[in-house]
Amino acid sequence: MTEPHEPAQKRDEPASTASPSTRATERVNVAPAPAYRIASRAGLLSNPHGGELRGPDSVQACLDILGAERLGHGVRTVEDPALLDRVVARGVTLEVCPASNVALGVYAKIDQVPLRTLVDAGARVAGGGAMKTAIPASLVKELRDLTGAGMMECKAALTEANGNIEEATTILRKRDTFRAAFRGFDPRVVAGFDDADRGRLMADAGIVRNRAKIDATIGNAGAVLETAAAFGSFDAYLASMVPPPPRRRGWPPTGSTSRSPRGET
């Protein structure tokens, strides 16, 4: 996992003399903050990434600016004892992903990931899987690696992970009935679901009948619409998260004349 809302920083960048809170605000792209506020009003979980490639500053920014309740990575929270105490006090779960940490050069080896320090401090820690297209690590592999390194007892966690995989498989098998039950997943329709629709869904044996998940889906649809209204469209919101393409220095050459494939000016 990477931290898309955190701008790159040179390793030899001089330390700032500003306060930690100011540094965190300076170093983190706060563009997603409005979307996080919209999601929070809809009752959705704030679960940004931070504290992997960047240090504890990014964790503090996730807490202060994005209202993080759960944090992707967060392992470098250990570098700031006061911040670690704050994470523990707030009950923020840290989704550790050791394979990602090693692949990205944050730590040299799995057993250097400071999981034990986090656990001993009382932090809530969960295993997290990396994007398989970038880092070949599944959640189950992560938990097995941690067990092999003597860093955690995770028989129960492995059982839970395998159960989650089975649940995901069940949902994939039911995707056609889910699509029909939720009216093609059109957010404009789903956001308007009322108690009668909730009752209809709870009575539908073709889907996983879980009231909390049904409510979350309806809430998500409302958040999509609110985000779209705030940014002009949901596509515009997604586009606002994409950095501009790099410019090639000296291209196009000054005074050049572009030509069509047929050689016409």
pTM above 0.95, yes or no: no
pLDDT (tens digit, 9 = 90+) per residue, 207-243? 989 999 999 999 999 999 999 999 999 988 888 877 6
Residue 6: its pLDDT value, please? 41
**CATH fold group of domain 1-9+20-154:** TIM Barrel (3.20.20)
Contact present, 76 and 97 (Cβ < 8 Å):
no
pLDDT (tens digit, 9 = 90+) per residue, 157-167? 444 445 555 66
Residue 42: its pLDDT value, please? 81
Model confidence at 15, pLDDT cuts 50, 70, 90, reads: very low
Residues of the chain with CATH 1.10.340.30: 174-240
> What number is the average pLDDT over the span 52-80?
92
> What number is the average pLDDT over the span 133-157?
51
pLDDT (tens digit, 9 = 90+) per residue, 82-96? 999 999 999 999 988
Residues of the chain with CATH 3.20.20.140: 1-9+20-154
> What number is the average pLDDT over the span 34-53?
87
> What number is the average pLDDT over the span 131-154?
52
Helix then strand count (H, E) for the chain reads 13, 4
The DSSP letter of residue 154 is -
Which amino acid is it at 75? V
Q: Say whether pLDDT at 201 is over 90.
A: yes
* Domain boundaries 174-240, corresponding CATH code: 1.10.340.30
Contact present, 219 and 43 (Cβ < 8 Å):
yes
Name every residue whose Cβ is closer than 8 Å to that of residue 199 and which is 6 or more positions away in sequence: none
Q: Tell me the longest C-alpha to C-alpha distance in the chain.
A: 71
Burial 112-127 (b: 16+ CB within 10 A, else e): ebbbeebeebebbbeb
